[in-house]
Amino acid sequence: MINNPIFQIIMDTIPNPAIITDGRQLVRANKCFLDFFNYKDLNLFVKNNSCVCNLFIDNSEYFSLNKINKTTLWTDYIYKEKNKQIVLIKDQNSQERVFELSINKLENDTSKYIVLFTDITIMRTENKVLEKMAYYDHLTQIYNRQIFNKLYIKELENFKRYKDELSIIMLDIDHFKNVNDQYGHDVGDQVLVSLSKLISNNLRLNDIFARWGGEEFMILLPRTNVNAAYNKAQELRALIETQKNNLPFFTASFGVTKVIKEDDNNSVFIRVDKALYEAKVKRNDVVLISE
């Protein structure tokens, strides 16, 4: 059937890129597929590309050959998984496009598959934008309070399961209202951004940093004892106090505590808030409350 010229005509009516393959070589491709890669016919494509699967860009978010055993055909893998796979491919202009793959065996030749490529680039981009809006503070571009709470619950579960130490730091910019009143809210925003960048650049990759609200911030430090957390808070306090930029001088106060086995989803925040409150009595200070 696939050798029938009418079959090619039918394939060319499909508005999305579509191919017939045995997992190693292309047998047929529709016009939309060839146009995407800027080839006049299938022979030219095959001459330059042994398999379309080699064009799947290796990326942790998407399917590629590196995700499967070298002895497994990509078509067999996707078909057996019964889940649509997402791939990243560059078009003729070297622009990255995201496709969702749909695959089925041919009824009259089960050794071959028909693969349909659905372009979901716009949808994927919009989803990433929405995800960023949901997870990140729009001004400072660090985590917001909502996602911090979710990540804390996850780390709390890990703490109770694996008995690793877990510490938390809460900080607040001293006299921030005076900055806004004296210099304006635009400068106040710049102070928040500057502090966020400074702290982000001085944390580990697995540390979780978020804007808690207003001029308050939280730092969660997995696998960190409370003394190390206290030292980190002192380090950050000194960095903030001595940083040089064109912004008004400001300092910050820090509260530090450790997570204990009796903690629930709120108790540690009450304790670290108390530590911060005591630090703000003196200002530009760090106070530790163990439990």
> Secondary structure of 60-118 in the HEC alphabet?
CCCCCHHHCCCCCCHHHHHHHHCCCEEEEEECCCCCEEEEEEEEEEECCEEEEEEEEEE
Please state, in angstroms and rounded to a whole number, the distance separating the CA atoms of residues 230 and 207.
Answer: 14
Catalytic residue among 215, 216, 235, 262: 215
- Active site annotation includes 215: yes
Q: How far is CA 57 from CA 28, 99, 186, in A?
A: 22, 11, 42
Q: How far is CA 265 from CA 12, 158, 230, in A?
A: 57, 13, 22
Please state, in angstroms and rounded to a whole number, the distance separating the CA atoms of residues 22 and 255.
Answer: 62
Name, in order, each residue with C-beta under 8 angstroms of 137's C-beta and a sequence gap of 6 or more.
Answer: 143, 144, 210, 211
Q: Are 33 and 19 in contact (CB under 8 A)?
A: yes
Q: Are 170 and 254 in contact (CB under 8 A)?
A: yes
Catalytic residues: 215
